[in-house]
Structure 1
Amino acid sequence: MFKNFTSRHWIYIFLIIGLILFGLFILPISVPLVLAFFTALFLNPAVRAIKKRFKLNRKITVTIVYLTFLLLLAFIGTYAVTTIIKQLVLLAENAPSYINHINNKLLEWNNNLEIIMQDLPNDFVNQVNASISDAVKSIDKVITDNIQVERVAGMVATILTAIPQYIVSFLVYLIALFLFMLELPFLKAKFYQNFTDHTAEKVQFMTGRLKYVLVGFLKAQFLVSIFIFTVTLLGLLWIIPEYAIGMSLIIWLIDFVPIIGSIAILGPWSLYMFITGNILMGTQLAVLAIVLLAIRRTVEPKVMGQQIGLSPLATLIAMYLGLQLIGILGFIIGPVLVIAFTSAKEAGIIKWNVKL
């Protein structure tokens, strides 16, 4: 079998193995660099446009675009963080009243249950009371275990310990972004020097397709996220206006996390409203959660498919498999790999003519 393999075949095999090893071991610890590279690609059209319009050299143009991006990032980040912190502080201040409200509701349910069961056999009543008591004790134990001072202190310590690492990663991202923006033309030229003219044309076709895919992916995520945020904000302005902006931002950020999504916030919130007797608001929040989930699961594959040139089914499969194999980055890399394979096949780099 291996006797028929040429040196070209072995190069392809080792290249594929190297890419797999890179994706499994190097890529997960290179997130700031990967994000910086993709951000540089995303900002490069603006750099080219300003350079062409005002006849500036690349260093000055990159500095202008980079500083504008930083100011925009700082403005959005500051507003989002301050709004979320205000809402969380307000929520923490009202937490005791929420807990008391739940306790009062449980006592009210217990009293109503005793009235209903007055005419029932004592054995049955005792068994029901014992079951309710066990359930309440279990819930109380779960709550107590999760809000112990030691546990909370440990969580806070873990977060505080991770802050320096996040700061370092963010600084690496910012520095790498500026350097990538400066060096993109040089990196592109060095990359194509490794190929013959004939192969370079094929690779250029594939990289152009991948660039289109990456821009399309970012555009699709932006469109879907704006749609999600708008629906969430309008829904919460109607349901509970005083928390609308802060909770919309929190839900919008959480919704970026694959699989979890907005249900992680709206689910417990809706359940709390049902327990405290606010059936209307609980139902409204549950409906909003279902609507957001439906939007994310139906609109996203369709928009992604339109923007990156894959069918909704292929996009969904690629995103899911990438997520399961690599993690959150696989959510992006999955569709990109599929597009890379199809582009390489169209360019003639990969010949796949298997017929059974």
Structure 2
Amino acid sequence: MLLRWFWRIVLLLVLLYIVPYSWTLIFALVTAMLLEGFINSISKTFKLNRLWSVLIAFIVYVGGLLGAVFIIVSVLTKQIITLSQKLPGVVKDLYNTAVLPFIRKWENYSQSLPTDVIRSVEDALERGISSLEAFARNLVEGTVQLVAVVPGFLIEFLIYLIALFLFCLEFPVIKRKAKNFLQESTYQKISLVFVDLNKAGIGFLRAQLFLSLITFTMAYTGLWLLKVPYTLLLSILIVIVDILPILGTGSVLVPWAIVAMLQGNQHLGIGLIIMFIVITIIRRIVEPKVYSASLGLTPLAALVSLYLGFKILGFVGLFLGPALLIIYETLKKAGVIKRNILL
């Protein structure tokens, strides 16, 4: 008995040691699990063997993934190139219409202020400019580092694709070998947990995609009505920022609205503020309902898990909160956790 526990502990330690080096393979295995239902449906529908079913599913998945990336990158590249060509003129216009009038007003207003107050304000402006310069420098350095990472990422992606195809092909064998190491009751519980978590994982991705689509639609429609150029590029930027609750859409729309008002464009500024309010309200109303429908949680449970997860763990908690609740409910359903506490 002690020897059995010893080898279990050794195996666990080995797994914990190799996990940090195996994220590409783990991601490939998880993707293979998610594609297993699609592969089985192809096999049953077209009466194909495992190899052809896996090949079709693999081509559909990789083709869809690369196609979506190509379309997004090609459109964004065109808009970024156009924007970069016009950026010097935009910066000059911003300086003439917003920064310069502010400096002139400050020069007139500062004549009636004490010297200490003027010095404090000027120091704050200098610190702000220094922070902006540091941010720009870090942005350039980060871009250079990102470019340097691309070759390594391509190698990892190629390994991911190869591992994904092999995992999909050998998945029934992996399940069969795993069953040999487990008792029947343990295998049944793990299978139940796996099925529920698989559904929850797909549901979570579906919920995130649906919420991002709602945000993109509202942002694109609002920017189109306001006749803002680079609508697609800016809408995607808003969606990316909206996924990060630490920032939120307000970190893009509110400063933009302030700058627009300083430039005298009250219509655009007010429109951006209204956009921010509408997107925020609709997201907060729809989010718990979407999570409850996609993850099998009640709206109240989804709201509580999202709120507490964000309050305790920040951005990560928005994902970890519902995930922990789903895992708890799944383990309870499988009989791993037995709740028999009475007060």
Per the normalisation by structure 1, the TM-score is 0.78
Match of 1:297 in 2: 284
Asked if 1:177 is matched to 2:169, the reply is no
Match of 2:301 among 275, 299, 314: 314
Aligned residue type for 2:281: A
Q: What one-letter code is carried by the residue in structure 2 that aligns with 1:184?
A: F
* Residues 1:160 and 2:153 are matched in the alignment: no
Aligned: 1:137 with 2:126: yes
- Aligned-partner Cα distance in 1 for 2:102–2:64: 52
Q: Work out whether residues 189 and 335 of structure 2, in 8 Å CA contact, stay in contact via their aligned partners in 1.
A: yes
2-structure distance, mates of 1:313, 1:26: 39
- Structure 1: gaps (5+ residues): 1-5
1:333/1:288 Cα in 2 relative to 1: closer, same or farther (>3 Å)?
A: same
Equivalences for 1:63-78 in 2 at 5 Å? 63-78=55-70
User: Does 2:235 align with 1:248?
Assistant: yes
Counterpart of 1:3? Answer: none
Amino acid at match of 2:51: K
CA-CA distance at 1:65 after TM superposition = 1.4
- The answer to whether structure 1 residue 108 and structure 2 residue 95 are counterparts is no
**C-alpha displacement of 1:291:** 2.7
> Is 1:189 paired with 2:173?
no
User: Does the 8 A contact of 1:87 with 1:247 survive in 2?
Assistant: no
Q: Which residue of 2 aligns with 1:81?
A: 73
Cα distance in 2 for residues equivalent to 1:30 and 1:269: 42
Aligned 8 A contact 2:246 2:315 in 1: no
Distance 2:177 2:185 in 1: 16
Would the aligned equivalents of 1:84 and 1:249 in 2 still touch at CA under 8 Å?
A: no
Q: CA deviation at 1:174?
A: 1.8
Q: How does 1:176-325 map to 2 (within 5 A)?
A: 176-318=163-305
Quote how far apart the aligned CAs of 1:326 are: 8.5
Gap change, CA 1:282 and 1:221, over 3 Å in 2: same
**1:146–1:250 Cα change, 3 Å:** closer
Q: CA deviation at 1:126?
A: 6.1
Shift in alpha-carbon separation, 1:218–1:103, aligned structure 2, 3 A: closer
Shift of 1:293: 3.0
The one of 33, 37, 40 equivalent to 1:41 is 33
Question: Which residue pairs with 1:61 in the alignment?
Answer: 53
| Segment drifting more, 122-131 vs 94-103 | 122-131
Note if contact 1:323-1:330 (Cα within 8 Å) is conserved in structure 2. yes
Contact 1:273/1:279 (8 A) holds in 2: yes
Per the normalisation by structure 2, the TM-score is 0.81
Give, in angstroms, the shift of residue 312 of structure 1: 3.6
Q: Which residue of 1 aligns with 2:327?
A: 340
Residue by residue over 1:181-224, the C-alpha shift from the partner in whole angstroms, topping out at 9 and shown as x without a partner, is 22222222233333333443333333322222122222222222
Q: 1:193 to 1:301 in 2, by over 3 A?
A: farther
Q: Do the aligned partners of residues 139 and 322 (structure 1) sit closer, same or farther apart at CA in structure 2, a change above 3 Å counting?
A: closer
Provide the C-alpha distance between the structure 1 equivalents of 2:21 and 2:273, rounded to a whole number of angstroms.
Answer: 37
The alpha-carbon deviation at position 238 of structure 1 amounts to 1.1
Shift of 1:62: 0.9
Provide the rounded CA distance (Å) in 2 between the counterparts of 1:323 and 1:161: 33
Farther-moved stretch of structure 1 (139-148 vs 25-34): 25-34
Cα distance, 1:114 vs structure 2: 6.0
Distance in 2, matches of 1:238 and 1:134, equals 40
Q: Distance in 2 between matches of 1:130 and 1:101?
A: 28
- Whether the 8 Å CA contact 2:34–2:198 is kept in 1: the answer is no
1:216 touches 1:308 (CA, 8 Å); kept in 2?
yes
Which deviates the most, 264-273 or 52-61?
264-273
Residue 84 of structure 2, aligned match among 82, 92, 95: 92
Deviations, residues 52-76 of structure 1 (Å, cap 9, x unaligned)? 1211111111111111222211121
Unaligned residue ranges in structure 2 (runs of 5+): none
> What secondary structure, in the 3-state scheme, does the structure 1 residue paired with 2:206 have?
helix
Distance 1:189 1:243 in 2: 53
Distance in structure 2 (CA, Å) of the matches to 1:162 and 1:320: 35
Identify if the C-alpha distance between structure 1 residues 49 and 147 changes in structure 2 by more than 3 Å, giving closer, same or farther. Answer: closer
Shifted more, 262-271 versus 234-243: the winner is 262-271
CA offset at residue 178 of structure 1?
A: 1.6
Contact 1:84 1:247 in 2 (8 A): no
The one-letter code sitting in structure 2 at the alignment partner of 1:79 is: I
SS of corresponding position for 1:260? coil
